[in-house]
Amino acid sequence: MTVLVNFAIGFIAAFIGVIPPGLLNMYAAKISMKEGRKKGIMFSTGVCVTVMIQTLVALFFARFLDQHPEYVSMLQKVALGIFICITIYFFFIAKDTRRPLPEDVNHSKTNRVFSGMLLALVNLLPLPYWVYISITFAGFGWFSFSQPGLWSAVIASGLGTFSVLAMYVWFFRQKDDQKKLNVNMNFIIGVITAIISVITLLKIMEEI
């Protein structure tokens, strides 16, 4: 049961984390448009390999923190401040995402799996994201740091990430498809981080 719960949390957290248009999914979409779906899927596979490695590192660090609760309280307060700042940024500062896809993705001789791994390596957000997600859900008794549970969450994070990237690869096949994305995703990210901030605040108040 623990393995299944960890898998569900890992998949849903990864899915939600990758849905908003960002560097990785927009490049996957552009590669699909210019080089075909096969190249887009190869790129997405490379991204997922790196994401799984980042998730594993983050979960090992989170397990250490879970075993040393004296650090968790301080990190929760730091995380609250960070998420509040992120919420303010996406609500009031970040540019509207309802814009054309980037035009700077050219045909590359580099293996797309390898290029996906390298580009995902630049994105360090999965590290603090998974530390926060795992510790928060572990605090509610919903996440386990047992060995099978950790690997279940890691695999789920890869599958969740791949599912979203595959949707971008499949959906944005024609340039006209860009017009279908008429929602400002920065606003949605702001809502998500606001919810996380509220959950973190409630958790801190509960421990006072």
Render pLDDT for 41-76 as a digit per residue (tens, 0 to 9): 999 999 999 999 999 999 998 898 888 777 767 777
Residue 144 predicted with pLDDT over 70: yes
Residue 176 predicted with pLDDT over 60: no
The DSSP call for residue 22 is -
Query: What's the pLDDT at 206?
Result: 73
Pick the range with the lowest mean pLDDT from 9-13, 154-158, 166-170.
166-170
Query: What's the pLDDT at 136?
Result: 80
Distances (CA, A) of 54 to 8, 135, 181: 18, 16, 29
What the block records as the tokens of 144 is 């386990």
Q: What is d(CA 176, CA 142) in angstroms, rounded to the nearest whole number? A: 43
Q: Are 135 and 26 in contact (CB under 8 A)?
A: no
Residue 208 predicted with pLDDT over 70: no
Q: Where are the domains of the chain?
A: 2-207
Q: Are 161 and 51 in contact (CB under 8 A)?
A: yes
Q: State pLDDT tens for residues 100-123.
A: 544 544 545 458 899 889 988 887
Q: State pLDDT tens for residues 151-164.
A: 999 999 999 999 99
**Three-state DSSP class for 3?**
helix
pTM of the model: 0.72
Q: Are 35 and 203 in contact (CB under 8 A)?
A: no
Nearest to 104 by CA among 184, 33, 183: 33
Query: In the structure, what pLDDT confidence band is assigned to residue 183 with cuts at 50, 70 and 90?
Result: low
- What is the torsion angle, in degrees rounded to the nearest 10, for the CA atoms of residue 121, residue 125, residue 128 and residue 133? -110
Q: What is d(CA 94, CA 116) in angstroms, rounded to the nearest whole number? A: 25
Distances (CA, A) of 52 to 26, 57, 152: 20, 9, 11
Q: Are 47 and 143 in contact (CB under 8 A)?
A: no
Pick the range with the lowest mean pLDDT from 8-22, 23-37, 85-99.
85-99
Exposure class string for 91-111: b at 16+ Cβ within 10 A, else e: eeebeebeeebeeebeeeeee
Query: In the structure, what pLDDT confidence band is assigned to residue 177 with cuts at 50, 70 and 90?
Result: very low
What the block records as the tokens of 197 is 């901030």
